[in-house]
Structure 1
Amino acid sequence: MCRIGRLGVAILGMLGAGLVTARSQDGPPTAPPAIRATSAILVDALNGQVLFEKNADARRPPASTTKILTAILLIENVEPDTLIQADKAVSETEGSSLYMLPGEKIAARELVYALLMRSANDACVAVARHIAGSEAAFAEMMNAKAAEIGATNSHFSNPNGLHAPDHYSTARDLAAIARYAVQLPAFNEAARTRYHTIVRDPRNKDTFLKHRAKWLWHYPGADGIKTGYTVPAGRCFVGSATRNGWRLISVVLNSPDIFGETRALMDYGFAAYEPLSPAETRGYMAQAPVSEGVRGTVAAAPSREIRVVWRKGQKPQVHAVPKWSRVVAPVAAGTAVGELVVTVSDQVVDRVPLIARSDVPRRPSPPPPGPLWPRATACVLALAVFWYGSAHSKNPRLIGRRLAPRV
């Protein structure tokens, strides 16, 4: 074999070895992918456990992934059949649009699809003005909700993600917001829907929507969620996929290939990791301390399944430690009395509310004391008797009279 031939065989051998180490026996990659996005993260949808991250806390313009939070507030604050009316400001909103007419009314449930499938900026403004009266007031609600969710490194100044200097988020925060959103059935339904027709005002034709996330067509188990793009933000995508009941959520910000890199993250997560219910938490039950109750404790159990994720073939140490709240009776069954902190190899991976399994009535109070005046009168009489007796016993005339013999 010539030198060039031997060199070619050697190169092919090294490449093959690299492929073997980077892939599992079934083929998908088990080594972390080389992600070119400026920021990225991959998390378990249930507990938020991080499987991959790159610059996950870097503040970035989120573009239309902002609409995930807008959709949350719409679902939680407006009944589905409520009609939301557009005004002149709505009709003048720039960018992707439903082209709502001033005075046009569309049901809230339809606008959830408009936000997530069409990425309609005008629909976002209509929602904001309907809920809060103005975009500025709605932005305050967005920031409060983000803080409640745990997205504390973000600040939102508008409902649609159009670029603004003080409008930013992070890959980690967007993953937290998405994890919260997928707990809402109305959000899940719209995020995974490929085609939908919005019923419009009689003055406007019904609008046929096709989801902008090609992800839904090209990845097994894909179920959302939201694309985004502005020039400063670059191309962004918050993605979701479910396999065998296990859901992962990914975020890529300013990516040259949002769907290709989302695929790489998902392939890596599903191939390299597995979700398990640790023996340490199965059937977990503990006694929570209760003050002023007929009993001093109440049995408490986790509010949901406890699941941890670890690399296939590994068995890390799992610990579950209860952290109790101050609980004062009466306690109703179903009340949160603390949380179970789950750690894997000394890293906190989940916090699950601990719920009381039974009622604990308040301990009966001692009977109240009677009226004050009888007790005061008794005290005065007792003192008078004591004083009289004492004085009588010290009087010599009385003493002599008592001691004189009778005749």
Structure 2
Amino acid sequence: MKLVPVTALLAAVALTGSAHSASTTPVGGDLLGSRGLVKPDGIKAPPKSKATSYVIADLETGDVLAAKNPHGRYLPASTLKTLTALTLIPKLDKNLTVKPSRNAVNQEGTAVGLTTKPLYKVDDLFRALMMSSGNDAAMALAEANGSLAKTMNDMNAEAKRLQANDTVAKTPSGLDKPGQSSSAYDLALIARAGLANPDFRRYISTKTAKFPAPKHYYEISNHNKLLWRYKGMIGVKNGWTSKALGSFVGAATRGGHTIIVTIMRHDGYFWDEVADLLDWGFAARGKVTPVGRLVDPLPAVLPAQQATAPVITATPVPAPLLDRAASKQTDSSRTVGSIVIGGGLLFGLIWLGYGIRRRRRLALRSRESEDLRL
């Protein structure tokens, strides 16, 4: 029998779009491990959609009302910018002025039109990111956070904190890159966390805004068409690349309740379908047994509190380190070192002499006591 390499098996599983093995409980509940449609009993199924994967969920309760292949892993395109914003909004001062690098300005794909001049506040760049889907703004924000590498580490750590385990971020913009992935379930988790942040809500719900340029301002508009068409629409994010196809994250509020809809891999015009899925969600919430739930984030790991007076334990210094330290000494440091070492040596000799004399006295007293008893 011919054995199949383990790497080949793993690659085959990855290509199926399934994020879980049969023996692993999917995040959010067992039913969400299905690749097909998962719907509650006693109610008409959600409207048909060409999306390969979707989730309809209640924001307040976290109930997943219906889903289709919710944990299938796919390229997220610009919907990944939701994770970029959620990660960086708390880290960056929105009034900080940023001078984009040439690398940021020259990002491929959708751009807001940045220049390499210090014209932009972080607040401007977040609007460009979430309204105009600017890949140049995504890179500029990543660099403002310290570096691209640091930002990717931060984004992936945030995904893990949210338990968005299908998500692997490789770019801050969502531009296709091997190994990058997310799922309709994870995008719903990210959207739910983002909607709890007032700045995040403000960026995704703004329809038009003025954007700075070298000699004037120009107007940018939100790419989310449902902001103008759907009653109660809050916003969030749409995305598209030729490999990822269409993806969308949306949320709307009616009657004091908010429904989240996420779709992935839609080959066509999806706006009307999303509106129909939102309508179904509003009609179903509170009337059906959920098919799963959006899990809560993991508790934040707080740094261990340091003691006010830490105990310092001396550690022997290897000889090479001592050699290097000696080679870097100046005349003044040698003098100080000699005083310290000499003083320590003198104190040690005195203490040694005191100990010897003390032991001799104790021994003499012991012998005298023995003589008295005899």
- State the TM-score, normalized to the length of structure 2: 0.64
Q: Which runs of 4+ in 1 moved over 6 A?
A: 347-353
Partner residue in 2 for 1:211: 222
Which whole-Å CA distance do the structure 1 matches of 2:273 and 2:203 have between them? 23
**Secondary structure, in 3 states, of the residue corresponding to 1:47?**
coil
Give 1:171's aligned amino acid.
A
By how many angstroms is 1:41 displaced? 0.5
Cα 1:105–1:258 shift into 2, 3 Å:
same
**Is residue 265 of structure 2 the alignment partner of residue 225 of structure 1?**
no
**Secondary structure, in 3 states, of the residue corresponding to 1:229?**
strand
Task: Pick the aligned partner of 1:262 from 267, 274, 281.
Answer: 274
Which whole-Å CA distance do the structure 2 matches of 1:33 and 1:100 have between them? 41
**Secondary structure, in 3 states, of the residue corresponding to 1:76?**
coil
**Is residue 117 of structure 2 the alignment partner of residue 90 of structure 1?**
no
Which whole-Å CA distance do the structure 1 matches of 2:146 and 2:155 have between them? 10
Pairs within 5 Å for 1:96-175: 96-133=110-147, 135-175=148-188
**Secondary structure, in 3 states, of the residue corresponding to 1:232?**
coil
By how many angstroms is 1:136 displaced? 2.5
**Is residue 254 of structure 2 the alignment partner of residue 243 of structure 1?**
yes
By how many angstroms is 1:93 displaced? 0.9
Task: Pick the aligned partner of 1:68 from 62, 74, 82.
Answer: 82
Cα 1:151–1:102 shift into 2, 3 Å:
same
**Secondary structure, in 3 states, of the residue corresponding to 2:145?**
helix
**Relative CO higher for 1 or 2, CA cutoff 8 Å, sep ≥ 6?**
2
By how many angstroms is 1:126 displaced? 0.5
Task: Pick the aligned partner of 2:192 from 172, 179, 187.
Answer: 179
Partner residue in 1 for 2:39: none
Summarize deviations over 1:116-150 as a string: whole Å, max 9, x none. Answer: 110000010000011032x2221111100111112
**Secondary structure, in 3 states, of the residue corresponding to 2:263?**
strand
By how many angstroms is 1:198 displaced? 1.9
Cα 1:352–1:65 shift into 2, 3 Å:
closer
Which whole-Å CA distance do the structure 2 matches of 1:166 and 1:177 have between them? 19
Task: Pick the aligned partner of 1:188 from 196, 201, 206.
Answer: 201
Which whole-Å CA distance do the structure 1 matches of 2:120 and 2:245 have between them? 31
Which whole-Å CA distance do the structure 1 matches of 2:246 and 2:197 have between them? 26
**Secondary structure, in 3 states, of the residue corresponding to 1:253?**
strand
Partner residue in 1 for 2:358: none
Task: Pick the aligned partner of 1:273 from 267, 285, 294.
Answer: 285
Instruction: Please say if residues 167 and 182 of structure 2, whose CA atoms lie closer than 8 Å, have aligned partners that are also in contact.
Output: yes
- Larger fraction in helix: 2
Instruction: Please say if residues 74 and 112 of structure 1, whose CA atoms lie closer than 8 Å, have aligned partners that are also in contact.
Output: no
Which whole-Å CA distance do the structure 2 matches of 1:348 and 1:213 have between them? 26
Which whole-Å CA distance do the structure 2 matches of 1:351 and 1:157 have between them? 24
By how many angstroms is 1:160 displaced? 0.1
Cα 1:74–1:205 shift into 2, 3 Å:
farther
Cα 1:220–1:58 shift into 2, 3 Å:
same
By how many angstroms is 1:108 displaced? 0.9
**Secondary structure, in 3 states, of the residue corresponding to 2:160?**
helix
Give 1:130's aligned amino acid.
A
Which whole-Å CA distance do the structure 1 matches of 2:190 and 2:271 have between them? 20
Give 2:280's aligned amino acid.
Y
Which whole-Å CA distance do the structure 1 matches of 2:202 and 2:55 have between them? 24
Which whole-Å CA distance do the structure 1 matches of 2:258 and 2:295 have between them? 16
**Secondary structure, in 3 states, of the residue corresponding to 2:248?**
strand
Instruction: Please say if residues 161 and 297 of structure 2, whose CA atoms lie closer than 8 Å, have aligned partners that are also in contact.
Output: no
Give 1:57's aligned amino acid.
H
By how many angstroms is 1:206 displaced? 1.5
What fraction of aligned residue pairs are identical, expressed as a percent? 32
Instruction: Please say if residues 49 and 350 of structure 1, whose CA atoms lie closer than 8 Å, have aligned partners that are also in contact.
Output: no
Cα 1:84–1:58 shift into 2, 3 Å:
same
Give the root-mean-square deviation of aligned CA atoms: 2.1
By how many angstroms is 1:258 displaced? 2.0
Which whole-Å CA distance do the structure 1 matches of 2:186 and 2:247 have between them? 14
Instruction: Please say if residues 136 and 157 of structure 1, whose CA atoms lie closer than 8 Å, have aligned partners that are also in contact.
Output: no
Summarize deviations over 1:170-203 as a string: whole Å, max 9, x none. Answer: 0000100010000110110111111111234xx2
Cα 1:163–1:352 shift into 2, 3 Å:
closer
Cα 1:79–1:167 shift into 2, 3 Å:
same
Partner residue in 2 for 1:17: none
**Is residue 263 of structure 2 the alignment partner of residue 252 of structure 1?**
yes
Which whole-Å CA distance do the structure 2 matches of 1:178 and 1:59 have between them? 17
**Secondary structure, in 3 states, of the residue corresponding to 1:132?**
coil
Summarize deviations over 1:309-328 as a string: whole Å, max 9, x none. Answer: x42xxxx7xxxxxxxxxxxx
Give 2:238's aligned amino acid.
T
By how many angstroms is 1:75 displaced? 1.1
Cα 1:242–1:149 shift into 2, 3 Å:
same
By how many angstroms is 1:349 displaced? 7.3
Summarize deviations over 1:57-114 as a string: whole Å, max 9, x none. Answer: 1110000001111111231101111112201111211111122112333111111110
Instruction: Please say if residues 236 and 253 of structure 1, whose CA atoms lie closer than 8 Å, have aligned partners that are also in contact.
Output: yes
Q: Which has the larger radius of gyration?
A: 1
Pairs within 5 Å for 1:6-25: none
Task: Pick the aligned partner of 1:33 from 35, 44, 47.
Answer: 47
Cα 1:348–1:96 shift into 2, 3 Å:
closer
Cα 1:228–1:57 shift into 2, 3 Å:
same
